[in-house]
A and B are shown apart, each in its own frame.
Chain A
Amino acid sequence: MQGSTTEFKRQAEAALHDATLQRAMAKAKGGFVDKRRLAVARLPEFAQIRAEAKAIKEHTLAHLDYYLEQFERKVLESGGRVHWARTADEACAAVLAIIGAASKQVLKGKSMVSEEIGLNAAMERAGHTVVETDLGEYIIQLAHEPPSHIIAPAVHKTRDQITDLFQAEHEKYGLTERVTETEDIVNEARQVLRTKFLSADVGITGANFLIAETGSTVIVTNEGNGDLTQILPRTHIVTASIEKVIPSLDDMTVLLRLLARSATGQEMSSYNTLSTGPRRADDLDGPEEFHVVIVDNGRSDMLGNEFHDMLRCIRCGACLNHCPVYGAIGGHAYGWVYPGPMGSVLTPLMIGLENARDLPNACTLNGRCGEVCPMSIPLPDMLRTLRFKEHERKLSKARARGALKAWGLLARRPRLYQVVTALMTAVLGSIGGRAGRFRSLPLASGWTQARDLPAPQGATFQRMWRRRR
C-alpha cells in the first residue's frame, strides 16, 4: 500500500482538530478497554494461558520452515494449493494468476495482509470488481479510505457519516431511505452484500491461523461474512503471512482464548471457521478451488533479530485500544496499514525506517501496550530499539541531535553540570519565582504552547544541600 508516513506530524495535528473524528474516537475509547479488563478478570488462568501462548509461538518460530512445509503438504493432501510470495508484488501477482485474465467479481473477507500488499488496488487495476464484505471494511471501501484500526477498520467513522455514505452509495440499488439506526444500517449493508455473495466468482479471506497438522486456515469474525465469502464463490483464496502458522488444533484453542478477549473482550468471537481444502464429494457446499498465498514481505528478516518478538503478534488490536497516542489521533495519522504501537514497530521494518522516522518517536514509552499484549511483545523496548537505529543512521533531526549532544557533554561532567544548572535555576528562579511559572520562555515554546512552565524554586538541590551540610 502507498503510505503517507512522512506526513505523520501534520496528519496527527489535523486529526486532533477533526471534530468528527474526535467524536468517533471518544465513543470507541472506553469500550474496548473496559470489555477487555472484564474478560481478563473473568479468566483467572489468563496469565498462564498467556505464557503458554507465547511458548507456542516461540516454538513455531524456532521451527518455522518445518511447520510451513508441513502446512503446505497438508493443504496439497486435502486438494488445495499453496503459493509462496517473497514480496508484496509477488503476492499480488500470485493472486492475479489464480483469478485469471477474465474480469471477475471478487469478494473479500477482512484481511490486513491484503491491505499490506495492496491487493485491492492490484485487482482493480487488472479489471476485477472487488467488494469488501466485513461491514467496517465495506464502509471504508465505499469511502475510499484505508482501515484506521486492525480489527475495527471504520472505528474513525461516526454513525452520521455512515448514514450519509450509504445514502449516496446505495441509491443505485434503489435504496433511497435514509437509515440512521445501527440495526437498519446493518440490514441495508446485508441487503446489498447478499446479491454480491450470490454472483461472486472468487472469495478472498485472510487467516488468523494456519494449522500445520491439518492444513486448515482459520478465520475469526463476528458477522459471518467470512464464511459466505469463502463458501459461496467457486474459488477461495487465502492470503496469510508466514508467522500465522501454528502446529496444531490444540495450539489454536489456546490462542483463541486470548484473541477475542484481548481484542473485543468477548470470550469467543461469534464465528471461528476452519477451511480445509476445497469442497469434497460429500460436502454440501464449498469452493471448487482452494489456494493459500503465503506472504513473507520482510518477516523472515525479523526471525532471530531484535524484532523477532514482533512475529508473535496475533493482530488483536489491544495495543491500539490502550495506546493514548492512538486514542488521541486515530489510525490514519500513522500513514500506513498498521497503526498504533504494533504498527509503529512493523511499519518502519516493512517500508524502511527512513520513510517512517516519526513513528517510533511518537510514543511516551508509557508501557501500557506491552502490559496488555496477550503475546507479551515488548513493544516499548522495540520502539526504543528503532530510535537507536535512527540515531546510528543519523535519521533524527540535526537540531535535536545537536541539543542532545550538548546535553550529553554536560551530563557527563557533574561539576560543570552543577555550575551551569545552579546558574540557570538562579536566573529562572529569580525571574519566575513570584509568579511561580512562565507562560512563555525563549527556546521552550514546545513546552509553553500548551502549558505553563513551573518555575524552579530558586537554587538547585545540590547547591542547597552543600550549603546546609
Chain B
Amino acid sequence: MVSAPDNSPPPSVGLFVTCLIDLFRPNVGFAAVKLLEKADCKVEVPRAQTCCGQPAYNNGDQHTTADIARQVIAAFESFDYVVAASGSCIGMIKEHYPRVLKDDPSWLDRAQRLAGRCHELTAFLVDVMQLQEVESSFAATATYHDSCSGLRELGIKQQPRALLSKVGGVTLKEMEDSEVCCGFGGTFCIKYPKISERMVSDKTANIVASEAECILGGDMGCLLNIAGRLKREGSPIKVYHVAEVLAGMANQSAIGDGKS
C-alpha cells in the first residue's frame, strides 16, 4: 500500500485544515487524518494556521494575502508534504503564493519549495502514495461535482473517481456539466447573490437530473453552496465531502441535514 521503502520513516504530513472544514465540517478533517494515517503517513495539525488567504487575495488585498502566505509557509515548511481536503486552498498555496511573494526573494524561494510538496487529498493518495485499496463502503448512488480550482489549477478529475470506485456499494452517476462552476466563488456568492443563485440552481437541477442519491465533491465551499441550495429546494439528496465517504465516515448527518 505504501510506496516508501520498508525501513524509511513514514512521510510527515502537515494537514492544512482549511477554514471552512475547521468551522463547518470537522468530520472532513478527521476523515482526511484517517485516510492519511491509513496510508502510513505521520499526520500533524499545525496550530498556527487559519485560512489560505483567498478571501483577501480574490478581493484585491495583496498585502494581507502576503502576510497570510508567510504564516502558512512558516507553519508548514518543515513537513515532507502539505495536504488539504480542498483543491481550492492547495491551488492557492501551490500556484498563487509564489506570485504573491514574487518581490520578496527569500520568501519566494520558500514558497516555491513548499509548492512542490503541496497536494490535494485525493491527488496525494492516488498520485503520491499510490493507494490501491480503500477500506470503506457506502451503499448509495452518487454524483460528483468537479470543483473549479481543483480541476483547472491542479488537474484533479480522475483521482477522486478512482478512489470512489474502490468503495464498496457506491455507484457513480455522472451529472451533466459536472465541470461547470456551482456559483460559490468565495465572496462572489454574497456580492452577486442573484447571479450566484442562478448558477447554483443550474447545478442543483443537474444533480437532481442525475438521479443520484447523494452529491460528493472535494471542496467545502462548493458543498456548502450546493447543500444550502438543495435544502432550500427541499431536496432529500445528501451532500458529503468525498473524504468522508472514502474514510467510511459518512455516517454522520450529511452537510445541511439535521440530526435524525
A contact residues vs B (CB 8 Å cutoff): 9, 12-13, 16, 324-325, 328-329, 361-368, 370-371, 384, 387-392, 396, 400, 404, 407-408, 410-412, 414-415, 417-418, 421, 424-425, 433-437, 439, 444, 446-447, 449-457, 459-462, 464-466
Residues of B within 8 A of A410 (CB): 50
Q: Are A391 and B60 in contact (CB under 8 A)?
A: yes
Q: Answer whether residue B48 sits at the interface, using C-beta atoms and an 8 A cutoff.
A: yes
Residues of A within 8 A of B56 (CB): 404, 407-408, 411
Q: How far is the CA of A460 from the CA of B178 in the complex (A)?
A: 30
Q: Answer whether residue B157 sits at the interface, using C-beta atoms and an 8 A cutoff.
A: no
Smallest Cβ-Cβ distance to A412: which chain B residue = B67
Nearest-Cβ distance from residue A369 to partner chain B, whole angstroms: 10
Q: Is the interface of B mostly helix, strand, loop or mixed?
A: helix
Nearest-Cβ distance from residue A45 to partner chain B, whole angstroms: 21
The 10 closest A-B pairs by CB, nearest first: A364-B185, A391-B60, A446-B190, A451-B228, A436-B258, A450-B197, A366-B181, A387-B60, A461-B26, A366-B148
Residues of B within 8 A of A466 (CB): 47
Interface residues of B in 213-260 (CB under 8 A from A): 224-225, 227-229, 231-232, 252-253, 255-259
Sort chain B's interface into a size bin: 35 or more
Specify which of A325, A411, A434, A462 is in contact with B195 (CB 8 Å cutoff): A325
Q: How far is the CA of A114 from the CA of B107 in the complex (A)?
A: 47
Q: Are B71 and A414 in contact (CB under 8 A)?
A: yes
Q: Are B24 and A456 in contact (CB under 8 A)?
A: yes
Q: How far is the CA of A436 from the CA of B239 in the complex (A)?
A: 12
Specify which of B181, B188, B227 is in contact with A361 (CB 8 Å cutoff): B188
Q: Are A454 and B24 in contact (CB under 8 A)?
A: yes
Smallest Cβ-Cβ distance to A13: which chain B residue = B194
Q: Are A9 and B192 in contact (CB under 8 A)?
A: yes
Nearest-Cβ distance from residue A432 to partner chain B, whole angstroms: 9
Residues of B within 8 A of A451 (CB): 197, 200, 225, 228-229, 231-232
B contact residues vs A (CB 8 Å cutoff): 17, 19, 21-27, 29-30, 45, 47-51, 53, 55-62, 64, 67-68, 71, 148-149, 151-153, 179-181, 183-200, 202, 224-225, 227-229, 231-232, 252-253, 255-259
Query: A367-B149, A460-B22 in contact; A384/B57 too (CB < 8 A)?
Result: yes
Q: Are A365 and B185 in contact (CB under 8 A)?
A: yes
Q: Are A446 and B64 in contact (CB under 8 A)?
A: no
Residues of B within 8 A of A12 (CB): 192, 194-195
Q: Are B45 and A465 in contact (CB under 8 A)?
A: yes
Residues of A within 8 A of B151 (CB): 367
Q: Are A461 and B60 in contact (CB under 8 A)?
A: no
Q: Are A446 and B191 in contact (CB under 8 A)?
A: yes
Q: Are B185 and A366 in contact (CB under 8 A)?
A: yes
Specify which of A408, A439, A459, A465 is in contact with B61 (CB 8 Å cutoff): A408
Q: Are B152 and A460 in contact (CB under 8 A)?
A: no
Q: How far is the CA of A411 from the CA of B72 in the complex (A)?
A: 11
| Given A450-B232, A451-B225, 20 extra CB contacts under 8 A | A16-B194, A16-B195, A324-B181, A325-B199, A365-B58, A368-B181, A411-B51, A434-B258, A434-B259, A435-B258, A436-B256, A437-B257, A450-B193, A450-B194, A457-B26, A457-B252, A461-B22, A461-B45, A465-B29, A465-B30
Q: Are A411 and B50 in contact (CB under 8 A)?
A: yes
Residues of A within 8 A of B27 (CB): 457
Residues of A within 8 A of B57 (CB): 384
Q: Are A364 and B59 in contact (CB under 8 A)?
A: no
